[in-house]
Amino acid sequence: MAQQQETTAGAAAAPEGEFVDDVTDAAAREEAHTERGTARPVTVVGNPVLHRECREVTEFDDELAALIDDMFASQRAAEGVGIAANQIGVDLKVFVYDCHDDAGERHVGVVCNPVLDQLPAERRVLDDGSEGCLSVPGAYHPLARPDQAVVRGQDAQGKPIAVRGTGYFARCLQHETDHLYGYLYIDRLSKRERKDVLRQMADSTPRYETVPNE
Ligand SMILES: [Zn+2]
């Protein structure tokens, strides 16, 4: 996902027990992945790999670890806060993130085979902040999404994990999970809004390398 247009910062909150600690050593872990990896060009809207459900990760091996490193390197090169495997052309259910929450806490991690928890209706508070996507370069549009999210899946070694996010990080977890099921955020907009976003994209030049569509 693309960076937030305006940033907010506040007090730090400690991660809770049930959820993975993706805060400790966030900068060092991101740095290590990025150093091992190689940035790859980013696929853009229209590329078939973005518009179908990806395959489940079943092998938690060195090849997956190398893919995750490349995803971190690609995310850094494109100045993103989250990237899904199909955004670098790989048909596998895995995303990485490097994203701040509403408390200003930086979260860095990876989720394989993510599934979002359904929030009980009474706990659904919608945030209609602006959203952008590395695969729709240069465009942003407001999109209402729940302001908290829990995603369950596996880490790079196959261990079950749960990740909880608030604010912009909640938006990121939902956005990246959507990618792996073949949906872009623009698929959640009206026809008119989608057209506006695609016009913004057409009028801009990406600041990172992209994969040209046929
Ligand atoms: Zn995206």
For strand 148-154 and strand 136-142, is the pairing parallel, antiparallel, or unpaired? unpaired
Are 129 and 174 in contact, with CB atoms under 8 Å apart? no
The owner of tokens 């495997």 is 85
Q: Which residues pair with 166 in a beta bridge?
A: 148
Q: What are phi and psi of 146, to 5 degrees?
A: -55, 140
> Which domains occur in the chain, in start order?
26-204 (3.90.45.10)
CA dihedral 167, 170, 171, 176 (to 10 degrees): 160
Q: Quick one: pLDDT at residue 121? A: 76
Q: Tokens in use for 141?
A: 């549009």
Q: Quote the ligand 1 centre to 184 CA distance (angstroms).
A: 6
Which positions make up the binding site for Fe cation? 133, 175, 179
Q: What are phi and psi of 149, to 5 degrees?
A: -150, 145
- pLDDT digits (tens), the chain, 214 positions: 998 876 444 444 444 568 999 999 999 999 999 999 999 999 999 999 999 999 999 999 999 999 999 999 999 999 999 999 999 999 999 999 999 998 999 999 999 999 999 988 777 889 999 999 999 999 999 999 999 999 999 999 999 999 999 999 999 999 999 999 999 999 999 999 999 999 999 999 999 999 999 8
Q: Quote the ligand 1 centre to 88 CA distance (angstroms).
A: 11
Query: Rounded to whole angstroms, what are the CA distances from 176 to 41, 80, 113, 171?
Result: 17, 11, 11, 9
Q: Quote the ligand 1 centre to 180 CA distance (angstroms).
A: 10
* Catalytic machinery residues: 176
Which positions make up the binding site? 133, 175, 179
CA angle 125, 127, 132 (to 5 degrees): 145
Query: Rounded to whole angstroms, what are the CA distances from 177 to 72, 174, 194, 195?
Result: 16, 5, 20, 23
d(CA 105, CA 165): 10
